[in-house]
A and B are shown apart, each in its own frame.
Chain A
Amino acid sequence: MAAAAMAALCFACGQPRDDSAIFTPAHRSAGDAARDFFGIHAKVEQPIEFPHSVHVAKGLKCTAYCHASVTKGPVAGLPSVETCMICHSAIATDRPLIQKITALEAQHLDLSWQRVYGYSAQAHVRFNHAPHIRAKVECSTCHGDIAHQTVAQRNVDLNMGFCVNCHRDRKVSNDCLTCHY
């Protein structure tokens, strides 16, 4: 059981780890709190530069494999590397990125996708995709033109006004409790 090899340093940046044994809504720093308050989203770095453009061009719909959970529940979710391997165990196996993910999966490791379209926890938004999909709102309306992006970029400014305007236009409730509880 000699896992002491897992030293107290971050595997990505090599800085000392914040060994926090607690979960708390508190921000890690004043800077984090300020960024959250002003809605400044940190630039996310994805584990690999996944090309949405390539996959959409091949006819893959958002809800086909990778974000299928949005048809079954409130959350779209991010795919596991096993979803990639459904196709990539056979397709494009010579490409370096494919080989990288194949190696990961062989070690039972997964890709740590970083969320792009999340809400700040302190926005207290309980967003549910289901009624939006039922209302035939296109994915691109809120998520931007992903079909022409590689990794997803937060191109649509999902501030509250954006949501409220659409709700008003479509005559859906704008009571606070519709989304915030």
Chain B
Amino acid sequence: MDRRDFIKLTVVTGASATLASCGNPEHQLIRFVPDDETTPGVAEIKHSICPLCRGGCGVDVRVMEADAEVVREGKTGVMRMAVAKKLEGNPAHPISQGKLCARGQASIQLTYHPDRIAHPLKRTGPRGSGQFEAITWDAAIAELVSHLDALAAAGDQKALAFLSRPRTGLRGELVAQVLAAFGAAPPITYELFGEDVLRRANLLSFGRDQLPTFDLARTRYLVSFGADFLGTWNSPVAQNAAYGLMRQGRPGVRAKFVQLEARMSQTGANADEWLPVRPGTEGVAALGIAHVMIAAKLRPASAGGRAGALIEGWAAGLPDYTPQRVEQATGISPARLERLAREFAAGEPAAAIIGGAALAHTNGLFQALAVNALNALAGSVGAPGGLTFTPQANLMNANARGRTSPRAVRELATALLSAPKPRVQLLMLDDTNPVFATPSAWRVREAFEKVPVIVSFGQFVDETSALADLILPDHSFLESWVDGMPESGAIVAVASVAAPVMKPLHQTRAMPDVLLEVARKLHKPLGAAVPWQTFDEMLHKAFASLPAPKDGDAWTAAQAQGGWWGEPAAATKAEAADAHQRPAAAAEPRFDGAPNEYPFHFLPYASTQFMDGSTAHLPWLQEMPDPLTSGMWSSWIEINPKTADRLKVATGDVVEIASQHGTLRAPAYVSPGIAPDVVAMPVGQGHQTFTRFASGRGENPVRILAPLSDTETGALAWAATRIKLTRVGGPDGSLVLFGTSMPEHPEYGR
């Protein structure tokens, strides 16, 4: 990481938010009368929703009295406040079931982060320099209103682009409605590990444009193709909870679990059997299993149904997927494949999961269709122990709104770079960091720099919000009304909702409420099209439409328990199969870089601590030892031991990797759980700017990825890059490990 690139944030403010006394303990800051009624030392439990991944876990927040330094009416002082102290899973919530993952536990640090943006900021220096000045909310809103009015006056409403992280609740719906009423295009969402390929496959195979839910607790045989479902994929907490039951929750019954992937993930470490498979060939392995099942008459081909019909050759018993052919493609021996297939068929119930790196190839859709067909063949679709879809509460028809194409951000960048006059005049950013989480080849930073006005609602300065001209900082989730309708993880519909658990610490404001105020202040107010004064008014209206309990109303009941869950009024209908959909032929994965020049497959993976890098600023997560390497505060590059020997690389040595699109250097980590021709690297570090804890630390593997996509959906094929690797030198001290490598005591295990 080049230290010169590190952007230092310098904010000229009127009041420092952190002042203490003169040092004389008797001379304290002024004290404000408390707003909250608290009893010191006594905890109250309130509900909220963790925002860090798509799981949408309901959390219980332990709230207690504390002395906080706050600014009131321009004066700095202390005030007794009810503040959040600890998060736990909400025992009643169908997703979290009383549990919470490492990231969820750390999410409380978002609220108390020392580098939170504490008040609205206006850029003073050159764009991206980090120079801002503090302004009032009135001034900030007035400025945003003036930009929007200018667009409306010129008839240029479509020149507004709103970019955010995908959301599944009414907050996203509010943004969409405001934009629609203004006349702008719908919001664009971007997420590095977006799983759009799987949704498209599920739409084709099962008629559901949705991520799947797996009833693992009742499964007897589980095969996972590359999905890190116990770490970072889909709904980790719910999946872990079900996994515990799958293993030891049923007396005398224990499911077998097999994982197929090129690099052992945290999930893969828990498998009874771990099979390495060549990158991009997971679908072939799945169809090989299906072939054996059909050939051995363990299941009729017709059991594949709609999903099977999507695979070319299915009705004929998949002649192209004999064990020998499968071995050529994947590296799995015929004997092993046959045994796997027989065990899978005997599972009853058996289930197959695919996700993550397996779908991040140019043939990702084909891979997903293959595993869907395998599930159908095994009879696991819609059956206990198998694959199902979480019913959707669909409040205010929010779920009916189409999702953004995964091509959208790349297309936006391309359009901005190619046109002489930028097609986007005003870019609004909410909880997304595409400058960090996209390949440099997409040139997102360069593209954004062409946009005349950039407005961010971010809580922190990161690579993307550093480009903003105006920052209107959002509350942290604990200070906000929050909601969510999770796409997966439960067998009942869930609509979570929670009030703020504490008053705001800083001069931030809830983004949805800011948008509503802006909507009212426009020269042509949006009026009846956006009828709510506040976000919670919209939530109240939405929840009031739910069935009320015997004693009380749905809104009060939902807040009391953290949300509503049950059977939705209208079940989501599966979409009919498209009669014109042709079966997919085996698609071979394409890789960027010739194998003789770029001998290794490069596998960036969502790290347990940071996912796509969006939690790298939380110190507990930086210091949390990586599950597989025990690395803390570091980046590393994982290499197979034989490869390391050949290249004379030891753990800690600095190596350089290069794709056709970029280079980076990081310490090596020699790991047995990776194929000799695969090199892996965790995603999350390498932020140029992201608070004191993450800025200038480590390297970002996403940067050097090739801009290849899944052919059908356009989703970034982040596992399709090839690299070369050279040793640069000995350890530079940047690799920090908590553990040492040592063998387990010989008395344990077998």
Quick check: do A and B touch in the complex, using CB within 8 A? Answer: yes
Give CA–CA (A3, B14) in the complex, Å.
Answer: 5
Contact A11 B19 (CB under 8 A): no
Query: Inside 8 A of B72's CB, which chain A residues have their CB?
Result: 108
Closest to A78 in B: B40
The answer to whether A44 touches B26 (Cβ under 8 A) is: yes
A87: B residues at CB distance < 8 A: none
Other-chain residue from B14, B22, B32, B136 in contact with A10 (beta carbon distance below 8 A): B22
Task: Check if B41 sits within 8 Å of A4, measured CB to CB.
Answer: no
Closest residue of chain B to A12 (Cβ to Cβ) is B27
Give every chain B residue within 8 A of A112 (Cβ-Cβ).
28, 30-31, 78
> Is A45 engaged at the interface, CB distance under 8 Å to the other chain?
yes
Alpha-carbon distance A69/B20, docked complex (angstroms): 27
- Set A10, A45, A74, A81: member contacting B21, Cβ < 8 A: A10
A77-B19 CB under 8 A given contacts A42-B25, A110-B32, A111-B31: no
Residues of B near A8 (CB, < 8 A) are: 19
What does the 1/0 interface line of A1-31 toward B look like (CB < 8 Å)? 1111110111111011111110000001100
Q: Is B154 an interface residue (CB 8 A)?
A: no
Check B71 for interface membership: any CB of A closer than 8 A: yes
B residues less than 8 Å from A99 (CB atoms)? none
Nearest Cβ distance between residue B260 and chain A, in whole angstroms? 48
Residue interface bits A72-113, CB-to-B below 8 A is 1, else 0: 111101001110000000000000000000000100111110
Cα-based distance from A77 to B21 in the complex (angstroms): 21
Contact A17 B22 (CB under 8 A): yes
A20, closest chain B residue (CB): B20
Contact of A18 among B14, B21, B30, B507 (CB under 8 A): B21
A63 at the interface (CB under 8 A from B): no
Most A CB within 10 A of own CB, among B29, B136, B507: B29
Contact with A along B640-666 (1 / 0, CB 8 A): 000000000000000000000000000
Q: How far is the CA of A44 from the CA of B78 in the complex (A)?
A: 19
Asked whether any CB of chain B lies closer than 8 Å to the CB of A155, the reply is no
B528 interface residue (CB < 8 Å to A): no
Q: Are B40 and A3 in contact (CB under 8 A)?
A: no
Please, how many angstroms separate the alpha-carbon atoms of A69 and B392 in the complex? 45
What per-residue 1/0 map shows which CB atoms of A26-70 lie under 8 Å from chain B?
001100000000000010110000000000000000000000010
CB distance from B418 to the nearest CB of A (A): 41
Point out the residues of chain B lying under 8 angstroms from A153, CB to CB. Answer: none
Least CB distance, A71 to chain B, in whole angstroms: 9
Tell me, yes or no, whether B742 is within 8 Å of chain A by CB. Answer: no
Q: Is the CB of A80 within 8 A of B27?
A: no
| Beta-carbon contact of A18 and B22 below 8 Å | yes
Select A11's contact among B15, B23, B27, B136, beta carbons within 8 Å.
B27
Q: Report if B400 contacts A (CB, 8 A).
A: no
A13–B26 CA distance with the chains assembled, in angstroms: 10
A108 and B27: CB pair below 8 A? no
Contact B27 A3 (CB under 8 A): no
Q: Which of B27, B28, B39, B119 contacts A72 (CB 8 A)?
A: B39
Which residues of chain B are near A10, meaning CB under 8 Å?
21-22, 24, 27
* Interface contact A4-B33, CB-CB below 8 Å: no
Determine how close the nearest CB of chain B comes to the CB of A170; give it in whole angstroms: 23
Given contacts A69-B42, A77-B40, A114-B26, contact A3 B20 (CB under 8 A): no
Contact between chains at B40 and A11 (CB < 8 Å): no
Known: A1-B74, A20-B20. A110 touches B31 (CB 8 A): yes
Nearest CB in chain A: distance from B106 CB, A? 19
Q: Is the CB of A28 within 8 A of B23?
A: yes
Contact B31 A109 (CB under 8 A): yes
Q: Is B18 an interface residue (CB 8 A)?
A: yes
**Interface residues as binary, B505-526 with A (CB distance below 8 Å gives 1, 0 otherwise):** 0010000000000000000000
Q: Give A105 to B40 CA distance when docked, in angstroms.
A: 21
Q: How far is the CA of A111 from the CA of B30 in the complex (A)?
A: 8
Contact, CB under 8 Å: B26 / A6? no
Asked if B616 CB lies within 8 Å of chain A CBs, one says no
Enumerate chain B residues within 8 angstroms of A1, measured Cβ to Cβ: 13-15, 74, 119, 134-136, 507
* Distance A77 CA – B65 CA, assembled complex (angstroms): 11
Number of interface residues of B (CB under 8 A): 41
Pairwise interchain contact B26-A12, C-beta atoms closer than 8 A: yes
Tell yes or no: B595 within 8 A of A by CB. no
With A21-B114, A73-B42 known as contacts, the answer to whether A6 contacts B76 (CB < 8 A) is yes
Whether the pair A16, B33 counts as a contact (CB closer than 8 A) is no
CA A72 to CA B65, docked complex, whole Å: 13
B20–A109 touching, CB < 8 Å: no
Residues of A contacting B541 in the complex (Cβ-Cβ under 8 angstroms): none
Q: Which of B30-68 contact A (CB under 8 A)?
A: 30-34, 39-42
Shortest beta-carbon distance, A51 to chain B, in Å?
20
A13 to B23, CA, bound (A): 10
Give every chain A residue within 8 A of B27 (Cβ-Cβ).
10-13
Which chain A positions have C-beta within 8 A of B25?
A: 42, 114
Contacts of A29 in B (CB 8 A): 23
Nearest-neighbour CB distance to chain B for A115, whole angstroms, equals 10
Whether B16 and A19, one on each chain, are in contact in the complex, defined by CB atoms closer than 8 angstroms, is: yes
Check if A108 sits within 8 Å of B74, measured CB to CB.
no
Q: How far is the CA of A108 from the CA of B78 in the complex (A)?
A: 12
CA distance A6 to B70 in the complex (A): 13
Mark B106-140 against chain A: 1 for CB-CB distance below 8 A, else 0: 00000000100001000000000000001110000
Q: Which residues of A contact B79 (CB under 8 A)?
A: 110
Is B75 an interface residue when CB atoms closer than 8 A count as contact?
A: yes
Q: How far is the CB of B29 from chain A (nearest CB, A)?
A: 8
Whose C-beta in chain A lies nearest to the C-beta of B18?
A: A21
Check if B80 is an interface residue, CB within 8 A of chain A. Answer: yes
Chain B residue with the shortest CB-CB distance to A8: B19
Q: What is the bound-complex CA distance between A108 and B119, given in angstroms?
A: 22
CB pair A17–B20 under 8 Å, yes or no, is: yes
Residues of A within 8 A of B77 (CB): 109
Known contacts A9-B22, A20-B20; is-contact A80 B80 (Cβ 8 Å): yes
Give the distance to chain B from A27, nearest Cβ to Cβ, in Å: 11
Separation in Å of the B319 CB from the closest CB of chain A? 69
A163 CB, min distance to chain B CBs, angstroms = 19
Asked if B26 and A11 make an inter-chain contact with CB atoms under 8 angstroms apart, the answer reads no
- Max chain B Cβ within 10 angstroms of own Cβ: one of A10, A20, A28: A10
Q: Does the CB pair A6–B24 fall under 8 Å?
A: no
CA of A20 to CA of B25, assembled, Å: 13
Q: 7 smallest A-B Cβ distances: which pairs?
A: A10-B22, A3-B15, A12-B27, A73-B42, A75-B41, A18-B23, A75-B40
12 extra A-B contacts, CB within 8 A, seeds A21-B18, A44-B26, A69-B42: A3-B15, A6-B15, A6-B19, A12-B22, A12-B26, A12-B28, A18-B20, A45-B26, A69-B41, A73-B40, A77-B40, A82-B33
Could you give 8 example pairs across A and B, Cβ below 8 Å? Answer: A1-B74, A3-B76, A15-B22, A17-B20, A18-B23, A69-B42, A81-B33, A109-B33
Q: Which residues of A contact B (CB under 8 A)?
A: 1-6, 8-13, 15-21, 28-29, 42, 44-45, 69, 72-75, 77, 80-82, 105, 108-112, 114
